[in-house]
């Protein structure tokens, strides 16, 4: 039996759903303990490292693995989650940055930085995850912890300028990939607040009128624990506007014995 597999998780699927689907498709693992090492948010896709059987007891061994992502950063819009599945807000800017200006901004966010954990994350405070405080509206009752993120390198791959109708189609197509659920555990968040999130995007696009948006595609190599949706917001801030991760795709999981874990299963 393998010690681990590397699954390709699609957008809209949670890591736990990915494990369940893997067991359904691979009956040999039906009654075998599985755990993932390094979660992927529902709106992120790509490689998910899954430990099998006795290897689950060694989970900490895999927590520090470096990661590589290809992300799309949309400028002039932000959300409270840092990705598309969040309550959106616009900036009073119409970005048209040159490649040189973008590269300077990327240089400024490369390296180590102490940043707050995303409020919509599973980081616990007093035994409760931050996203629960966010959903309850009780973030003011706690101090949001910080952590060190490290970006090794960022490569600018592409700049795309899209119209508002094109962006709207893209956003709602992405949101359509998030499945509906009536699980009790999702009741407080109203099923990822999907209806409220869609309504907010609709209002934003209506208010913005005719305009264009810049989308920058980046390849990011970073240390474990670096949030791409936080990075997108930081890039927007450096440029004097807002930024959101329009897409996040994990392309590589850090090296074990010098070999990249990029194998599909």
Can you point out the beta strands (E) in 187-238?
212-222
Residues 71 and 16 in one domain: no
Q: 164-175 and 190-208 are packed helices; what angle lies between their axes, rounded to 10 degrees?
A: 170
Segment 35-51, tens digit of pLDDT = 998 889 889 999 999 99
Domain shared by 41 and 76, yes or no = no
Structural domain that includes position 211: 67-255
Are residue 11 and residue 49 in the same domain, yes or no?
A: yes
Give the pLDDT band (50/70/90) at residue 18: very high
Helix (H) or strand (E) holding 172: helix 164-175
Residue 148 is predicted with a pLDDT of 96
- Range with the poorest average pLDDT among 182-186, 224-228, 250-254: 182-186
CA separation for the pair 31, 18 (Å, rounded): 15
The count of domains in the chain is 2
Distances in whole angstroms, Cα of residue 198 to Cα of each of 85, 162, 182: 9, 20, 18
The reply to whether 13 and 78 lie within a common domain is no
Which CATH number is 196's domain given? 3.30.2350.10
Confidence of residue 186 (pLDDT cuts 50, 70, 90): low
pLDDT in tens, 70-101: 999 999 999 999 999 999 999 999 999 999 99
At 64 the three-state DSSP class reads: coil
Please tell me the distance from the alpha carbon of residue 67 to that of residue 85, in angstroms, as a whole number: 22
What 8-state DSSP symbol labels residue 184? G
Per-residue pLDDT, 190 = 56
pLDDT value for 39: 85
- Average of per-residue pLDDT across 43-71: 93
Residue written as tokens 């689950």? 56
- Pair (71, 51) in one structural domain: no
3-class DSSP assignment, residue 164:
helix
Q: Tell me if the pTM is above 0.85.
A: yes
Q: Are residues 74 and 159 in the same domain?
A: yes
Q: 232 in helix, strand or coil? A: helix
Q: Same domain for 98 and 184?
A: yes
- How does residue 261 score in pLDDT terms, banded at 50, 70 and 90? low
């Amino acid at each position: 039996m393998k010690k681990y597999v590397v699954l390709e998780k699609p957008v809209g699927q949670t890591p736990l759903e990915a494990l369940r689907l893997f067991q359904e498709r691979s009956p040999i693992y039906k009654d075998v303990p599985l755990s993932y090492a390094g979660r992927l948010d529902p709106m992120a896709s790509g490689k998910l490292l899954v430990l099998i059987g006795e290897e689950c007891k060694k989970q900490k061994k895999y927590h520090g693995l470096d990661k590589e992502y290809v992300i799309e950063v949309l400028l002039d819009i932000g959300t409270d989650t840092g990705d598309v599945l969040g309550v959106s807000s616009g900036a009073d800017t119409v970005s048209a940055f040159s490649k040189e200006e973008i590269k300077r901004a990327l240089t400024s966010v490369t390296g180590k930085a102490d940043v707050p954990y995303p409020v919509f994350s599973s980081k616990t405070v007093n035994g409760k995850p931050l996203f629960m405080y966010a959903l309850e509206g009780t973030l003011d009752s706690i101090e949001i912890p910080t952590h060190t993120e490290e970006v090794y390198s960022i490569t600018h791959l592409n700049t795309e300028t899209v119209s508002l109708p094109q962006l709207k189609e893209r956003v709602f197509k992405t949101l359509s990939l998030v499945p509906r659920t009536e699980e009790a555990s999702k009741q407080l968040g109203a099923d990822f607040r999907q209806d409220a999130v869609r309504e907010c995007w609709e209002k934003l696009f209506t208010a913005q009128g005719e305009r264009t948006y810049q989308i920058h595609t980046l390849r990011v190599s970073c240390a474990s624990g670096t949030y791409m949706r936080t990075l997108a917001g930081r890039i927007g801030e450096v440029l004097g506007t807002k930024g959101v991760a329009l897409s996040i795709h994990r392309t590589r999981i850090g090296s074990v014995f010098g070999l990249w874990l990029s194998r599909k299963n």
